[in-house]
C-alpha cells in the first residue's frame, strides 16, 4: 500500500494492480491519500476510477470522514462524486455533504446537488435544518458566485425533504 504514494510510476502502477485484484477496505484510505497527493496524470485517473467504483459499504464512512477533514478540502468535489458513483446515499450525514457542497466550487455544488436529489428521507430533523441553514448562508455569501446558481436547487431539494418528513 505504501507504493501508492511513490514517485516511481511503475511502483504505483503495480500497487494499483494489486489493489484492483485483491483490494479490501484497507486499501481505500491509502488509495484516497494517494489520489489527493498525486498530480493529474493517467495514474491519478485510474485512482479516480477505482475510488468511484468502490462497492464496499464501509468506504462510505471513509469518504465522509475525509469530507470532514481539511486535509482533503482540495478533493471534496471528487469525494462527493465517489460517494454518488459508488451508489451511497448518506442521508444521515447530509450536513457533511452540504458543507462540502457549499464550501467548494461549482463541481462540488453540482456533486452535492446530485447526492441530495437521491435522498428520500432524512430521519434526523436537526441535521436537515442545519443543512438548510448552511445553504441559505451560502446563498447570502456573494463571494461564492462561481457555484451560487446551484444553491437554490439544493435548497429546494432540502426543503422538499423537510416538507415530506
Which pLDDT score, from 0 to 100, does residue 72 have?
96
The pLDDT of residue 117? 95
- pLDDT class of 7 with cuts at 50, 70, 90: confident
Share of the chain above pLDDT 90, in %: 74
72: Cβ contacts below 8 Å, ≥ 6 apart: 32, 36, 66, 79
Chain-centroid distance of CA 115 in Å reads 9
What's the pLDDT at 108?
94
Rounded CA-CA distance 17/117 in Å is 34
Distance, in Å, from the CA atom of 25 to the CA atom of 153, rounded to the nearest integer, reads 34
| pLDDT tens column, 138-165 | 999 877 667 888 999 999 999 999 998 7
Contact 5, 36 (CB under 8 A): no
Mean pLDDT of the chain: 92
Contact call for residues 159 and 117 (beta carbons, < 8 A): no
- List pLDDT tens digits, range 25-78: 999 999 999 999 998 889 999 999 999 988 888 999 999 999 999 999 999 999
pLDDT at 142: 76
Helices (H) and strands (E) in the chain, counts: 9, 0
Amino acid at each position: 500500500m505504501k507504493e501508492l504514494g511513490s514517485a516511481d510510476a511503475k511502483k504505483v502502477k503495480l500497487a494499483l494492480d494489486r489493489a484492483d485484484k485483491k483490494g479490501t477496505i484497507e486499501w481505500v484510505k491509502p488509495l484516497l491519500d494517494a489520489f489527493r497527493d498525486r498530480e493529474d496524470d493517467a495514474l491519478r485517473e485510474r485512482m479516480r476510477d477505482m475510488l468511484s467504483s468502490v462497492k464496499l459499504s464501509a468506504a462510505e464512512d471513509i469518504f465522509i470522514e475525509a469530507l470532514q477533514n481539511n486535509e482533503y478540502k482540495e478533493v471534496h468535489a471528487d469525494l462527493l462524486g465517489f460517494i454518488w458513483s459508488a451508489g451511497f446515499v448518506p442521508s444521515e450525514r447530509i450536513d457533511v455533504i452540504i458543507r462540502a457542497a457549499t464550501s467548494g466550487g461549482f463541481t462540488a455544488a453540482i456533486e452535492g446537488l446530485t447526492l441530495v436529489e437521491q435522498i428520500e428521507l432524512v430521519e434526523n430533523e436537526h441535521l436537515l435544518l442545519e443543512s438548510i441553514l448552511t445553504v441559505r448562508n451560502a446563498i447570502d455569501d456573494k463571494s461564492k458566485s462561481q457555484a451560487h446558481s446551484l444553491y437554490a436547487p439544493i435548497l429546494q431539494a432540502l426543503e422538499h425533504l423537510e416538507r415530506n418528513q
